[in-house]
Chain A
Amino acid sequence: MDFNDTAEEAAFRAEAKAWLQANAPKLNLSGLPEKEVLKHAKAWQAKKAEARYACITWPEKLGGRGGTPIQQVIFGQEEAKVGAPRGFFDIGLGMCIPTVMAFANDETKGRFVGPAVRGDEIWCQLFSEPSAGSDVAGLRTKAVRDGDDWVINGQKVWTSGAHYCDFGIVLVRTDPDVPKHKGLTMFWIDMKDPGVTVKPIHQMSGGSNFNEVYFENVRVKDSQRLGPVGDGWKVALVTLMNERLAVGGATGPNYPELLSLARSTPSGDGSALEDQAFREKLADWYVQAEGLKLTRFRSITALSRGQTPGPEASIGKIVSANQLQAMSSEAMEVLDQYGILSDPDLAPLEAGFQQSVMWSAGLRIAGGTDEILKNIIAERVLGLPGEIRVDKDVAFKDMPTGL
């Protein structure tokens, strides 16, 4: 048991490090508008693609390196250290393009894969709807056949990056007369097509990281269909297989920041760090945070040994999102009345805890709610029975609808 690279891994790490050293842009991105960051991100993606570091595990003929998952992990670790812009291409390359590769014809694949790898074109995933969140298959956006075209009407929601994306994959209802899973079909669409409108969502945290996307008589060709008519759910499962990996753990202040905050905050005759109740909680959070880090090490170990990581990776988001919310709340408790201040000029850590107390509420929902994730652990890891489906044999149009 150790934390060392194998000889091959060490060689790859050294190579990646040297390349990053020579090529990574020395940028300070903080405070830049998103448009500017995106420009830098695209340039960086192109550079990585040229050196075959963009999609390391993909075959060489698709612009990858034909590398291993552990090489992908190692490159990611080293890339994180150089502060290069990231995040814009994860959904496209992690979820959308693999779906296109699995279901599109050669012409479509030839058209889209290269530009996506190089970062010239960005993709989004259009599944969730106002009335279809955890139950995505209950979506209502419909596509109606019209000659060689399909006409799409409806609304998607929580679409990351829709405002800067060029293309997307969209799951729609093509047959309301059959049970919900059977009446769905997947298409790729051009986000600049007439009738597609993108509106930012104003989140409870104040920011806007996601969008609503409206479809008003949007025409797509039948050749844009991914998979057979009515087979959209199976296609979507291929896309979603990767989502738990794409939506990683919570990021934000952690126990060292909380410890420092308590140390520098007066309480009674000393500091808040001397409070026994606080110390007990801090110990628990340390154990959780380290436990998660070490659990990731176990998954990486499996990759390093050429195995598939075990189900332990499924605990990451549920633990980290809840911990972030609890720790942020406690940080504000430590500050007492001063804790209400969210002005970055006044609140410690530029109001990092105040921001994450708001943001963590969303993290507990994004990419699978706590409740859905517990169902997934119970059903897929522990093998317990699935939920009772009262809608399984009911035509979609006859299903009761609430909000």
Chain B
Amino acid sequence: MNFDYSDDQKFLKSEARKFLDARATAKVNRAVLDDPSKSYDPELWTAVAEMGWLGAAIPEEFGGLGLGHIDLCAIAEELGRVVAPIPFASTVYFFAEAVLLAGTEAQKADLLPRIASGELIGCFATSEGPGAATAASLSTTVIDGSINGVKIPVTDGDIAHKAIVLASEGGKPGLFIVDLAEVGKETLKTLDPSRSAAKLTFSGQAAERLGAVGDGIALMEAVFDRAAVLVAFEQVGGADKCLEMAKEYALGRYAFGRTIAGYQAIKHKLADIYVKNELARSNAYYGAWALNTSAPELPIAASAARIAGCEAFWFAAKENVQTHGGMGFTWAVDAHLYYRRAKQLGLVAGAARSWKERLVSQLERRNAA
């Protein structure tokens, strides 16, 4: 049994923590959060690119480090811990994974090296309004290689150079690579301003097919499976940090003549967070294994990692605010950075309720077989 990070991966993770503790402090997040003109921190982005993290799971032949997905998971956990204000998820978990999954050799050779170097910011555009995107609801279309329609919201759509877009061609859904230079972009106000989102308006720009015609929904789901595992590690990292913040604050806060960390109401609350975090970590590890080995179990493993990750981070984030009491509700205390990010991550890879349905329909099929 070898169900944990390797020593090398643990080393990578601890180096990542040191680096991020120095470079991605809460102040760095707040600089983006507090300034409506900023969508991300370009300096941190460049630094992360220099560390090679953007290409951790990109093969060496395409300019990456070729380490594999478990190493990328270790990095994701640390990025989640510091609520990093950079378009890492959009570019690496979604855009790069989609290209790795469905790209031709030419597309990989064109795009992946530019992602690994930090030159290309990517995004994944599927949503067109309230509710999850489906083949039937899709109104963005591609005709003769030109794309028309509106995507809202698209995480990092305002800063991305290219998007992978879900659109229908001849009535069949497909994924398309679109250069965003000429596409209409409107930055949107969101719950977590440390991560930006945009409305993208396509008006006849060139769209290059990614993967086969008609495979759009299946491909989108496959990309979501991969991204869900990676996002789950960010969620675990964030949830762990919330538990640490709550613990530290409770130990130092005195009420009724003693530290509030000694009250069972607080002790049991933090024990509940710990339990959820460990369940989320174990499910995330299984997702990492399935992703790294392209196992047929990936859709089920990714669903479980996603559901447990959403539950753990949201619970830890909201109970961290609660443990901080009135202080937790202020802008000055960092608890809300995690509260916002928990919701942001809980939605950008699809809401947990959709994943629960996806999980149960798969269990149903397995049970019937």
Contacts and interface: CB of A to CB of B under 8 A. Distances in A.
Secondary structure at chain B's binding surface: helix, strand, loop or mixed? helix
B356 A279 contact: yes
Q: For chain B, which range describes its interface: under 10, 10 to 19, 20 to 34, or 35 or more residues?
A: 35 or more
A318 B272 CA distance: 10
Given A375-B264, A384-B251, A384-B267, A298 B285 contact: yes
Given A301-B1, A377-B271, A377-B274, A291 B280 contact: yes
A315 interface: yes
B292 A1 contact: yes
A284 B307 contact: yes
Interface string A316-329: 00110000000000
B282 A291 contact: yes
Contact of A298 (B282, B304, B364): B282
Contacts of B274: 315, 377, 381-382
A269 B308 CA distance: 32
Contacts, number: 158
B367 A260 contact: yes
Contacts of A375: 264, 267-268, 271
A302 B5 CA distance: 11
A291 B2 contact: no
Interface string B157-200: 00000000000000000000000000000000000000000000
A318 B270 contact: no
Interface in A271-297: 273, 276, 279-280, 282-284, 286-288, 290-292, 294-295, 297
Contact of B3 (A6, A286, A301, A319): A301
Given A259-B367, A260-B367, A384-B250, A290 B1 contact: no
A282 B271 contact: no
B360 A374 contact: no
A206 interface: no
A3 B4 CA distance: 10
Nearest to B275: A315
Contacts of A378: 267-268, 270-271
A5 interface: yes
Interface residues of A, number: 54
Interface in A25-51: none
B364 A1 contact: no
Contacts of B275: 315, 318-319, 377
Contacts of B271: 373-375, 377-378, 381-382
A5 B356 contact: no
B165 to A, nearest CB: 30
Residue of B261, B266, B357, B360 ringed by the most chain A CB atoms within 10 A: B360
Contacts of A381: 271, 274
B1 A3 contact: yes
A283 B360 contact: yes
B279 A1 contact: no
A346 interface: no
B66 interface: no
Contacts of B202: none
Interface string B353-365: 1011101100110
Nearest to A276: B357
Contact of A301 (B2, B292, B357, B360): B2
B272 A374 contact: yes
B46 interface: no
Given A280-B356, A287-B311, A381-B271, 5 more contacts: A1-B288, A3-B3, A291-B279, A298-B4, A305-B4
- In order of increasing CB-CB distance, the 8 nearest A-B pairs are A291-B279, A378-B267, A283-B356, A294-B282, A385-B262, A377-B271, A374-B271, A297-B3
14 contacts: A1-B2, A3-B1, A3-B2, A3-B3, A4-B1, A280-B353, A287-B307, A287-B359, A297-B282, A319-B279, A375-B264, A375-B271, A377-B274, A382-B243
